Amino acid sequence: MNLVYSFLDHKKDEKIQYVALRFLLVAFSILGFIVLLLGIFSGYDPLATVISIGFILFCATCFILLNTTKHPHYIKIFFIIFLDFIYFPVAWMTSSNAFKTMPYTSILFLIITFLLVEYRREFIIPILFLIFAVLLMYIKVRWPLSFTITYTSLSSYLMTFLRYSVIALLLLTVIVMMIFNYFEVTRKYDRKSIYDELTGLYSRTYGLKQLQAVFEAQHGQQNKYTLIMIELENFKVFNQKNGILAGDAFIKTLADLMRNNTRSNDLCFRFSGNTFLLLLSHTDISQVNVFLLRIQNAFEELLTQYEESDLSLLVGRANFDYNTLIEVIKEAEIDLSQHRTNT
C-alpha cells in the first residue's frame, strides 16, 4: 500500500554515499581545524596554514550545499575530484613531512573514493587516482619547493604502500561502523515515526504527509480519489466493559481487516484512537460503495466473535474537489457526523 513509490515522497531514504559524505565532511573539517591550530602554534609555513583554511572552508561549503541543493550528486563528484586531484597533490607538494604519510593518505583517499562512487562510469575516478598517486609517490619533496624522483625500487615502494594501507583500512573500518550504526539507529527511529505501534498501519503524521503529497500532485486533475473516514462507534463503552487490552486487540483486528481489504495503491492509516482514514485511488461512486460494503460485511463477521457488542462503523467520505487537504478531511468528518445523527 505504498503511495510512497506511486507519488512524490520528497524524503526518500538517502543513499549511503551521501550519509558517508556528510560524515567525511564533518570529520575533515575537524581534522583541518586541528591541523590549522597545530600550524599556528608550531610555526608551520604560512602556505600550509592557508591550505588548511581553504580545506576547512571547502568542506563547510560542500556540507551546506549538500543539504540545500536539489542535485547532491554533483556536489559529491565535485568533492571527490577536489579531494583526489587538487587537495591531495597540493598537500603533498607543500608539506615537508608528506613523504612519510603519502602512502597512508593515498590509500585512505582511494578507499574513500570507492566508498562514494555510485554509478559504473564513476569508477574511472578511483582508477585514475590510483595511477596519479603512484606517479606522485615517485616524487620526494625537498622543502620548500624542489622535488627529486625517488622510490626507484618497486619492491620498496610496494612495501611502504602496503604498510600504510593497513592503518588506512583500520580507520576506514571505524568510519564504516559509524555509518552503519547511524543507519541502524535511523531505521529504528523511522519505523516508529512511520508506523502506528499498535496497528502496524501508517501513523497519523506519516499518513497525513503522504495524503498531502497525493493531494498536491493530483489536485485539479481528472484522477478519481475518494477519502474515507471510518470511526468505530461505541468503542468507549466496549473498553469499559471488556478492558483496555481487549479494546487494543479489537482495534488491531479492525486495522488488519482494513489492510486486507485495500489495494496496494490505496492509503490506510490510523487518524486517531478509534478513527481511520483511507484514500481510495481511481475509484468511482459504485466502486466506493462496493468497497464499503465489503468492509461492513467483514466487520459484521468479526462482531460474531463478541457477545452483546454495540460496536458499529460510521463512515464519511469526500473527494478532492477542495482547495486544501484540511477542507477534504473536514468534509469527510461532516459526512460521518451526518450518518451518526441519522442513526
> Residue 122's pLDDT is what?
83
Which part of the chain is CATH 3.30.70.270?
204-342
Q: Look at the chain and count its residues.
A: 343
> Residue 5's pLDDT is what?
31
Each residue of 104-131: pLDDT tens digit? Answer: 778 778 888 887 887 778 888 888 888 8
DSSP symbol at 15? P
pLDDT at 7 over 50: no
Are 233 and 313 a contacting pair, CB within 8 Å?
A: yes
Confidence label for 172 from pLDDT (cuts 50, 70 and 90): low
Report the interhelical angle of 204-218 vs 154-194 (nearest 10°): 90
Burial of 128 (C-beta count, 10 Å sphere; 0-12/13-18/19+): middle
What does the mean pLDDT of the chain come to? 78
All three cell numbers of 257 = 481487516
Read off the pTM: 0.50
CATH 3.30.1180.20 fits 204-342, yes or no: no
Mean pLDDT value of segment 170-182? 65
Better-predicted residue by pLDDT, 55 or 104: 55
Mean pLDDT value of segment 188-208? 83
Each residue of 279-334: pLDDT tens digit? Answer: 998 888 888 999 999 999 999 888 888 776 788 999 999 988 888 899 999 999 99
List the one residue out of 24, 27, 54 whose CA is nearest residue 39: 54
> Residue 221's pLDDT is what?
61
Cα dihedral 323→327→331→336 (10° resolution): 150
